[in-house]
Amino acid sequence: MHLPLIRIATAAAAALAMSVPAAVAAPANQATIDIDDQNMTANGFAAGSGWTRVTINADRPVDFGIVALKPGKDTGGFANAIGKLSPDRTESWGDWVAGGSTRPGAPYVVALDMDPAWYSVIVYERKKQYQVGGFSVFDRPGGFEEPASTSTIGLRDFRFDTPRTLDAGGTLKVVNQGRQIHELVLARVKGKPAAAVKLAKQGKFGKIRFAGQPSQAVGLVSGGTTNVVTPELAKGRYLLVCAYGDARSRNKPHATLGMAQAITVR
């Protein structure tokens, strides 16, 4: 199992394998990030700020995160520091605005409301994390209106604010309404969903009976961020979980603090 260092603040986060969300059905402004070896190219961001449909491609399986640096932060200094920064310490430099996994033939696609800033793209692989490049979003209108979504999921400290049912193939608006970093993982489960919720809240992820590969709909994101994604969800019973944990949660997975919930996809 390929595991990004930046997400392994607890053993629980490592227990969940992740798949890749499908494309977001949203109009352009279109932008792409192509990751090749230890570098990247970015196209389409020059139009300016606002809602942007971003497609992340890679020539190999890649786990990634995107950080919007705070004004005045040195981009070169951040690139040198990121290899030793945990996600919570990274927030002294900027906000995690998106994250996920991509592989050849299966890009990660997300719609983001992008403010003017320098954005750094971080890759985690081979037991290390590093910046592969970045891009600027300029202080002028360039995006489109917020894309339509079928459901909204709020990530709070420490619970989910979500409807009990989701539409298969629906588009999710995922808003981190808390002050801490969170992620959104959806896992189809066998048997009674309440049993899976109980195990997740106990941190016993390895004992959960999964009915398929869990999907990391949204990777680590800071408070105040919004991601619009369309996960590949078949009909069934699902577990929503945030398995991330760091010093702020005393290294406990957020699921053990309440971020575990059962839903139905139909």
Number of domains making up the chain? 2
Q: Does residue 145 lie within any of the structural domains?
A: no
Q: In what order do the strands lie in the sheet with 108-114?
A: 39-43, 30-36, 50-58, 108-114, 226-229, 172-176, 151-156, 159-161
Asked if residues 200 and 260 have their Cβ atoms less than 8 Å apart, the reply is: yes
Q: What is the pLDDT of residues 90-101, one digit of tens each?
A: 999 999 999 999
* Residue 36: predicted pLDDT: 94
* Residue 248: predicted pLDDT: 85
Tell whether 171 and 239 lie within a shared domain: yes
Q: What is the percent of the chain where pLDDT is above 70?
A: 89
Residue 2 has pLDDT above 70, yes or no: no
Most confident of 45-54, 202-211, 245-254: 202-211
* Residue 141: predicted pLDDT: 85
Q: Does residue 146 lie within any of the structural domains?
A: no
Tell whether 41 and 96 lie within a shared domain: yes
Distance CA 199, CA 12 (A): 12
Dmax over Cα atoms in the chain, in whole Å? 52
Q: Does residue 142 lie within any of the structural domains?
A: no
As a whole number, mean pLDDT of residues 233-254 equals 94
Domain that holds residue 49: 5-137
Residue 3 has pLDDT above 50, yes or no: no
Q: What is the pLDDT of residues 7-50, one digit of tens each?
A: 434 444 444 544 555 545 444 589 999 999 899 999 999 888 99
Q: Does residue 144 lie within any of the structural domains?
A: no
As a whole number, mean pLDDT of residues 182-206 equals 96
Residue 257 has pLDDT above 70, yes or no: yes
Domain holding 192: CATH number? 2.60.40.420
Tell whether 93 and 164 lie within a shared domain: no
Q: Does residue 104 lie within any of the structural domains?
A: yes
Distance CA 127, CA 17 (A): 16
Tell whether 108 and 170 lie within a shared domain: no
Q: In what order do the strands lie in the sheet with 236-241?
A: 165-166, 260-265, 236-241, 182-188, 215-221
- Domain stop point among 82, 106, 137: 137
Tell whether 187 and 239 lie within a shared domain: yes
Domain holding 13: CATH number? 2.60.40
Which of 16-20, 65-69, 202-206 is predicted with the least confidence, judged by mean pLDDT? 16-20
Tell whether 133 and 159 lie within a shared domain: no
Tell whether 129 and 9 lie within a shared domain: yes
Tell whether 100 and 47 lie within a shared domain: yes
Asked if residues 127 and 228 have their Cβ atoms less than 8 Å apart, the reply is: no
- Domain stop point among 114, 137, 160: 137
Number of alpha carbons in the 13 Å side-chain half-sphere of residue 104: 4
Tell whether 127 and 191 lie within a shared domain: no
Distance CA 236, CA 233 (A): 8
* Residue 29: predicted pLDDT: 85
More confident residue, 21 or 222: 222
**Would you place residue 142 in the very low, low, confident or very high pLDDT band (cuts 50, 70, 90)?**
confident
Tell whether 110 and 168 lie within a shared domain: no
Answer positive or negative: Cα dihedral of 26, 29, 34, 39: negative
Tell whether 157 and 133 lie within a shared domain: no
Distance CA 129, CA 121 (A): 10
- Mean pLDDT, the chain, integer: 89
- Amino acid letter, residue 29: N
